[in-house]
Amino acid sequence: MPRVRDLLDRQLAGSFVGRAEELRLLHEALADGGPVVLHLHGIAGIGKSRLLGAFCQSAREEGATVMWLDCRGIEPTTNGLLADLASATGGPPGSAEEIAARLGRVGSRVIVALDTYEVFRLMDTWLRQVFLPKLPDNVRFVLCGREAPVTAWLSDPGWSGLFRSIRLESLGERDTTELLSRAGVPAEEARYLEGICHGHPLALTLAVSMRRTEVPHALKAAMGQRVVEELSGLFLADITDAQTRRALEAASVVRRVTLPALGSMLPEASPQDAQERLRTLPFVQAGRDGLHIHDAVREAIAATLRAGDPQQYRAYRRSAYRHFMTRLRGAPASEMWRCTADLLYVLENPVVREAFFPSGRVEYAVEPARPSDEKAVLEIIAKHENPENAGHLSQWWKEAPETFAVARGQDGCVAGFYVIFQPENVPARLCRHDPLTRAWLDHLNRQPMPRQQCALFLRRWLSADAGEAPSPAQAACWVDVKRRYLELRPKLRRVYLALRDPQPYAAAAQQLGFQVIAEASVQTGGVWHHSAMLDFGPSSVDGWLARLVAAELGVETGGLLDCGARELVLDGRRVGLTRLEFGVMEYLYSSAGEAVARSSLLENVWEQNHDAGGNVVDVVIRALRKKLGDKASLIETVHGVGYRLSRDARA
């Protein structure tokens, strides 16, 4: 049962004050001749989503049809966005043209809001260049995120007058006073909080929600995000109820909060009770895929937990990993990205996190090369390549320009490029003529992949200033490469690339799993190009990410069970497992040496409340023992309880 203070906190969190000018600018999208795309941006906690909600509500009152999508739950690929838009319009999946036309038919004036757009940067170029130009003139898009728009929106003459950027700043003194007054804060205390929080809405919400009547004077010198971080720590310290504190700490290590995730991380607690405790907090928002703790608060609480109790922090992440792996195995295609994004969030590897969820200011827009880019691309090639290799790259541009993508700077000029393709999608003659791609094809022939899986050839990347060396332009290109990974999952098995000087990339490449292929390294024009290959494994990108998380958390993946491949490893021979067989084996494996109840297997693998007296678990155990052969005794029966996997299985 929520306390009166909880109700007051929720009322404050849901209130809306001020922002009259920003609302006016947003409403211009409803007028004939108004902007087609608006980009609302500002720092974490500044009130973007609350303003977006107020605009959507008033737009509906004016007769507009509004669809609000949270980008955190949308796969950042063409198919992912089109599928969510199709669902929002109530129709079947379709092409970009079909979905664009359908959007125009759902109302006389249509608003599509993409919230938390900062996690959707992989799709920014496709939206700007491909999808949005197909929209009927009665459809408007509002992009809402932390980061300012990519400069291509402002520098492209075609978007002049059709695009508007709105930066959200802190609340003014009058609006801050009104917000605190609505929350019942006395005038004297309100003046004190105004000086502490500097008009930052989330900071104000946190300060008002704390039971203590005074926050440290030292915070007066802090600004924006720093205030939120400090107040989050104070808020956590102010929670005297142990159950609520544990629930909040556990929830801080995951991207979204669901009942099964809480059950996995807090096995001794009621997940429903924990979820309801979280729901009453003023910085928690309910979404269609679970509860979301505000990013700024979640990150601050996670940092506090990591510093104060690193073992508990790691234990929560391990439990979350096991839960997400179980979900990933049985997820339908429509839910796959949510499970992958959950797994990515548990991974702290900055190389991978930044590649899929880039942070910071975007200096370059990566997009398919245009015919007009030929001069710039060839100049970069001539500047950094010897004549022989320059000739091969020039031939690729001449015969397969669609394999090129360019990084375009704020002035619209090409700052770098990369060349990528699936070998089966380009002329075989061209691949065989190029010594590097020929070497990669030969490697594929010597070590073939399953028929249903594919490879990507990342033939070259160069920036105008730094060549193949690390640079901001090439970092932008690498982020775009990760979009290709997602588009091709679960078919993508391997990525091939080559470098003249692997050293600057060696540490990150090794961490990600790239291996040098000496026999595929070639010499052109007297210069060696060293080939490397990343094999994602049978489970494609998701299996690769799972292995990275397992390695980071110290979760063993060797021994009897190969989690990435979902196979038993028996004296050098591999035996495939069905989804349920792998689920049971992986759960037993994670608890090797401990007795596991049948009911635990039913709840965590089948994810249903089956009758514990049923024999569905026993059927799968018999199948596993049969596949284990002379190692069947590794699965021991614990009478009256369930089963136990011998610790020897990890050896």
Q: In the predicted model, is pLDDT for residue 565 greater than 70?
A: no
Fold of 556-650: Arc Repressor Mutant, subunit A (1.10.10)
Supply the pLDDT for residue 5: 40
Distance CA 352, CA 486 (A): 13
The pLDDT confidence band at residue 393, using thresholds 50, 70 and 90, is very high
Q: What is the CATH number of domain 365-530?
A: 3.40.630.30
Comparing 486 with 97, which gets the higher pLDDT?
97
Q: Model confidence over 332-347: pLDDT tens digits?
A: 777 778 888 888 888 8
pLDDT (average), residues 87-106? 94
- Local structure of residue 257 (DSSP, 8 states): B
Distance CA 362, CA 121 (A): 9
Spatial neighbors of 313 by CB under 8 A, at least 6 apart, are 253, 302, 305, 306
Q: In the predicted model, is pLDDT for residue 12 greater than 50?
A: no
pLDDT (average), residues 264-271? 91
Q: In the predicted model, is pLDDT for residue 459 greater than 70?
A: yes
Supply the pLDDT for residue 549: 86
Q: What pTM, to 2 d.p., does this model score?
A: 0.74
The pLDDT confidence band at residue 13, using thresholds 50, 70 and 90, is very low
Share of the chain above pLDDT 90, in %: 45
Which superfamily does CATH assign the domain made up of 19-167 to? P-loop containing nucleotide triphosphate hydrolases (3.40.50.300)
Q: Model confidence over 269-323: pLDDT tens digits?
A: 999 999 999 998 888 888 878 899 988 888 889 988 998 899 899 999 989 988 8
The pLDDT confidence band at residue 3, using thresholds 50, 70 and 90, is very low
The widest CA-to-CA distance across the chain, in whole angstroms, is 79
Supply the pLDDT for residue 8: 38
The pLDDT confidence band at residue 479, using thresholds 50, 70 and 90, is confident
Supply the pLDDT for residue 545: 86
Both tokens assigned to 207: 């300060």
Range with the poorest average pLDDT among 19-23, 146-150, 186-190, 409-413? 186-190
Distance CA 25, CA 561 (A): 57
The pLDDT confidence band at residue 225, using thresholds 50, 70 and 90, is low
Distance CA 141, CA 125 (A): 15
Give bridge partners of residue 494 from the DSSP assignment.
Answer: 455, 535
Distance CA 227, CA 220 (A): 8
Supply the pLDDT for residue 646: 86
Supply the pLDDT for residue 215: 61
The pLDDT confidence band at residue 21, using thresholds 50, 70 and 90, is very high
pLDDT (average), residues 33-62? 92
Supply the pLDDT for residue 604: 73
Distances (CA, A) of 259 to 256, 279, 287: 10, 12, 13
pLDDT (average), residues 92-105? 95
Strands 139-145 and 110-115: parallel
Q: In the predicted model, is pLDDT for residue 376 greater than 80?
A: yes
pLDDT (average), residues 71-88? 91
pLDDT (average), residues 436-452? 91
pLDDT (average), residues 69-83? 91
Distance CA 434, CA 323 (A): 46
Q: Model confidence over 36-48: pLDDT tens digits?
A: 999 999 988 888 9
Q: How many CA atoms, within 13 angstroms, populate the side-chain half-sphere of residue 464?
A: 15
Spatial neighbors of 416 by CB under 8 A, at least 6 apart, are 364, 380, 406, 407, 461, 462, 463, 464, 471, 473, 474, 476, 477
Distances (CA, A) of 19 to 38, 172, 174, 447, 585: 16, 9, 11, 61, 55
Share of the chain above pLDDT 70, in %: 91
Mean pLDDT of the chain: 86
Amino acid at 42: G
Domain regions of the chain by residue span: 19-167, 173-238, 242-346, 365-530, 556-650
The pLDDT confidence band at residue 507, using thresholds 50, 70 and 90, is confident
Supply the pLDDT for residue 572: 60
Q: In the predicted model, is pLDDT for residue 1 greater than 70?
A: no
Give bridge partners of residue 257 from the DSSP assignment.
Answer: 291
Q: State whether residue 526 is helix, strand or coil.
A: coil
Supply the pLDDT for residue 7: 40
Nearest to 436 by CA among 359, 527, 506: 527
Nearest to 459 by CA among 477, 484, 434, 478: 434
Amino acid at 533: M
Tokens 């079947």 found at:
92
Tokens 């005297």 found at:
240
Q: In the predicted model, is pLDDT for residue 612 greater than 50?
A: no
Helix axes 187-197, 173-182, angle to 10 degrees: 130
Supply the pLDDT for residue 389: 93
